[in-house]
Amino acid sequence: MSGVVSDCVSDFAPVLALHGGAGTLRRAAMTPAREAAYHAGLMAALNAGRVVLQAGGTALDAVTASVMALEDDPLFNAGRGAVLTSAGTQEMDAAIMDGTDRRAGAVAGLFGPRNPILAARAVMEQTDHVLLIGAGGEAFCRDIGLEFMPPDYFLTQARQESLARELERRASGAADDGDAARKHGTVGAVALDCRGHLAAATSTGGMTAKLPGRVGDSPVIGAGTFADDATCAVSATGHGEFFIRYAVAHEISARMRWAGQSLKKASEGIVAELAPLGGSGGLVAVDRTGAISLPFNSEGMYRAWMDASGALHTAIF
Ligand code: ASP
């Protein structure tokens, strides 16, 4: 499919990349039907952002649209289908950043708004703050009229089973088998628009059986989410504690800015460095020239991208 840009005054061919988390099902557990469902969900989310970009819309609107589509899809760990805490609750984190001026908004420990990414965006656009949490964040969302959904909208049987398996494993004292699908997820998107602006957005239920109150990397600007027109836009997925400690998203931007590294070298470098530390995961990134990088050190990462020619791709392993 080729990109038709209607309303653009510059020479930038729009680019979009997204992920549905590094917690892919193991190959052995992946049936053709499941695989097809994941590809369809990824393509739907890619198209949601693609139409925005190809109509001359902003990177910010494109990443919002793609992440909303993934939040609404119960296959992915964000919004509907978010994973459960050790107490069986759902606590969602999300962030968005505009590379134009480094405005950013984020929410953490939120439950109720249908699309946490819209809550993050509202924090960015309608408050003087960057990060709102818990009850205060939820009250803000109600005040501005964001759509809320009842608890059963968010809860899926698959997530309940994952929590039960993880709690059983812990109770039995069995070693962690490293099955990313049981623990991980997250969705995110990065884009370059036709005016040369970058944006990033990330949304997650976090990690299965996390302690209530735990916040991951997704809503931490510079860890799981970052965008700066001078360098790149990044959205990460994986073991969030490592992505926070290594400030992964900002680290990529810093290596590009200060060490003159390419997007590919910077992003593949940090993802490879995390692997031996136990920091499983990956990320999607785009730079100001439209280069795309999708590195991961896990068995797979649900991902999709539209390159500068307008061609659309989805991949899992
Ligand atoms: N990074 C997310 C978190 O730690 C989880 C994931 O992407 O799998 O909350």
Residue 23's pLDDT is what? 78
Model pTM score: 0.95
pLDDT interval class at 3 (50, 70, 90) = very low
- pLDDT value at 4 more than 70: no
Residue 182's pLDDT is what? 63
202 within ligand 1 shell (Cβ under 6 A): no
pLDDT interval class at 1 (50, 70, 90) = very low
21 within ligand 1 shell (Cβ under 6 A): yes
**pLDDT tens, residue by residue, 78-135:** 999 999 999 999 999 999 999 999 999 999 999 999 999 999 999 999 999 999 999 9
Give 103 Cα–ligand 1 centroid separation in angstroms: 22
**pLDDT tens, residue by residue, 33-64:** 999 999 999 999 999 999 999 999 999 999 99
Give 299 Cα–ligand 1 centroid separation in angstroms: 15
- pLDDT value at 9 more than 90: no
Give 129 Cα–ligand 1 centroid separation in angstroms: 23
Q: Give just the sign of the alpha carbon dihedral 272, 274, 278, 283.
A: negative
The residues annotated as belonging to the active site are: 186
Residue 6's pLDDT is what? 54
pLDDT interval class at 24 (50, 70, 90) = confident
Q: Is 305 helix (H, G, I), strand (E, B) or coil?
A: strand
Q: Determine contact, residues 281/239, Cβ cutoff 8 Å.
A: yes
Residue 146's pLDDT is what? 98
Which residue minimizes the CA distance to atom 9 of ligand 1? 206
Which residue minimizes the CA distance to atom 4 of ligand 1? 240
Average pLDDT of the chain, as a whole number? 94
Which residue minimizes the CA distance to atom 7 of ligand 1? 237
Report CA-CA distances (Å) from 273 to 48, 244, 246, 251. Answer: 33, 14, 10, 12
210 within ligand 1 shell (Cβ under 6 A): no
The domain 15-315 is classified under which CATH number: 3.60.20.30, 3.40.605.10, 3.40.50.2020, 3.30.70.260? Answer: 3.60.20.30
Mean pLDDT of all residues in 283-309: 97
Going from N- to C-terminal start, the domains of the chain cover 15-315
Mean pLDDT of all residues in 248-274: 98
Sequential DSSP letters for 266-291: HHHHHHHHHGGGT--EEEEEEETT--
Residue 7's pLDDT is what? 58
